[in-house]
Structure 1
Amino acid sequence: MWWVVGAVVLAAIFSAYLGWTAQRVERVHARAQSAERALDAHLLRRAAAAAVVAEQSDAIELYAAARLALDAEPDERESAENDLTRQLHGIVLNPADPAARTLIGSSRRVVLARQVHTDLVRDALTARRRKLVRVLRLPGRYPMPRYFDIVEPIMPALPMPVPVPAVPPETPLPVL
């Protein structure tokens, strides 16, 4: 009789482990898909900001690269974004211009979104490589996540605001 109880306990532990593993695989895949959508949104914002800067500065090549990045198909997206990044490296931005500040900020967000996306894709691929996950086909409904390889869009740093020293109030002159 004790072996029946032991078998039931082992089956319960194994099924709990399977449930936890399936939930983990589903969660990392869902997070990887969310990170991919966020990266796509930040790339679109950067391309739109680059188009605005290109229109203001009459940079034809930059405008063409921005339009190609905005209109690119999913399989052409990496090369279009790399072309846009190369064009952005060749321009000089005025940090006082609001459009340039928007472009710099969106480029920094692209870097962060790409790092998050890369980390989550790595986690999802690691979860998929586990033997039990492959045997039971747990990530069945999720497509294989892919890395998004682009050149790092490094933009110039924005100047830090200089604090204005507090000026003591003027003391009134005594009336004589």
Structure 2
Amino acid sequence: MSWSETAVLVVAVVLLVVWWSWVAASRIDRLHRKVAASRAVVDTQLLRRASAASTLAASGVLDPVSSVLVGEASWASITAGDAQTQGMARLPAELRGTARAGTGSPDVADRGLVESELSATLREALADPQEVAELREEPGAAELLAALADAWYRVQLARRFHNEAVAQAQRMRRGWAVRTLRLAGRAPMPQTLELDDAWPPALGRPGAPPAAP
């Protein structure tokens, strides 16, 4: 092979590597944007669930102990998801004093723990199918429970889509060529959002008939 042929081959290989690197870097950037967008959707739905829970707690249909516990847990969720704004404005006035006294502003890194605590608190408050059935008979309670169920269902869907987007980005970034060429730059590795969002059976799925007591 002559030197000119060798030079052409080297140039072709270099161009191929440059093209592949550009394509891979562009795909990584798109995946990062997808992860960021899906996480924003999760945060929105978590805030929606917390707002529905706080409204339920402030409505007076729950027993006093459950109202306080759900109110505190929902306020912790609101402050975790809205730390840079006045999240207090989203909490019903009846619960603001209790929330200030009972919880601080949790760190964003503890978001999963905060949301898991809200899930556990709601499951405890809505654990008895008979009590939930009786609760639905209270004026306005059925609508509040339906709003909570709808928000909770959306949380589960949004978190599933987010974690799938994160898994795609992680697989792409773990490739040896991506790591060797540092195509992801200094962007941190996307992480899944792990939290307990198990459903309280007595609440019933949106659009489904209420669970039998």
Normalising by structure 1, what TM-score?
Answer: 0.82
Answer whether contact 1:107 1:153 (CA < 8 A) is retained.
no
2:19 and 2:7 map into 1 onto residues whose CA distance is: 18
Shift of 1:120: 1.1
Shift of 1:65: 0.9
Which structure is larger by alpha-carbon Rg, 1 or 2? 1
1:7 aligns with 2:13: no
1:76 and 1:9 map into 2 onto residues whose CA distance is: 50
Q: What secondary structure, in the 3-state scheme, does the structure 1 residue paired with 2:146 have?
A: helix
1:69 and 1:156 map into 2 onto residues whose CA distance is: 22
What is the percent sequence identity of the aligned residues? 29
Deviations along 1:29-83, whole A, 9 cap, x unmatched? 1111111111111101100110001111242211111111112330221111001
Answer whether contact 2:153 2:206 (CA < 8 A) is retained.
no
Shift of 1:136: 1.9
1:88 aligns with 2:131: no
Which position in structure 1 is the counterpart of 2:92? none
Answer whether contact 2:166 2:192 (CA < 8 A) is retained.
yes
Q: Which amino acid aligns with 1:66?
A: S
Which position in structure 1 is the counterpart of 2:156? 111
1:11 and 1:75 map into 2 onto residues whose CA distance is: 42
1:101 aligns with 2:143: no
Q: What secondary structure, in the 3-state scheme, does the structure 2 residue paired with 1:14 have?
A: helix
Deviations along 1:76-97, whole A, 9 cap, x unmatched? 2111100110122121363972
Residues 143 and 88 (structure 1 numbering): CA distance in 2 closer, same or farther, change over 3 Å?
Answer: same
Which position in structure 2 is the counterpart of 1:171? none
Deviations along 1:129-170, whole A, 9 cap, x unmatched? 111211222212422212211113425124558xxxxxxxxx
Answer whether contact 2:153 2:205 (CA < 8 A) is retained.
no
2:31 aligned to 7, 28, 40, which one?
A: 28
Structure 2's unaligned 5+ residue stretches are 81-106, 127-131
Shift of 1:111: 0.4
Q: Which amino acid aligns with 1:15?
A: V
2:179 and 2:193 map into 1 onto residues whose CA distance is: 24
2:188 aligned to 125, 140, 143, which one?
A: 143
Counterparts in 2 of 1:67-82, with a 5 A limit?
A: 67-72=75-80, 73-82=107-116
Deviations along 1:85-122, whole A, 9 cap, x unmatched? 01221213639722221111110110011101111111
Q: What secondary structure, in the 3-state scheme, does the structure 2 residue paired with 1:11 have?
A: helix
Residues 160 and 76 (structure 1 numbering): CA distance in 2 closer, same or farther, change over 3 Å?
Answer: closer
Q: Which amino acid aligns with 1:79?
A: L
1:46 aligned to 33, 46, 49, which one?
A: 49
1:151 and 1:103 map into 2 onto residues whose CA distance is: 16
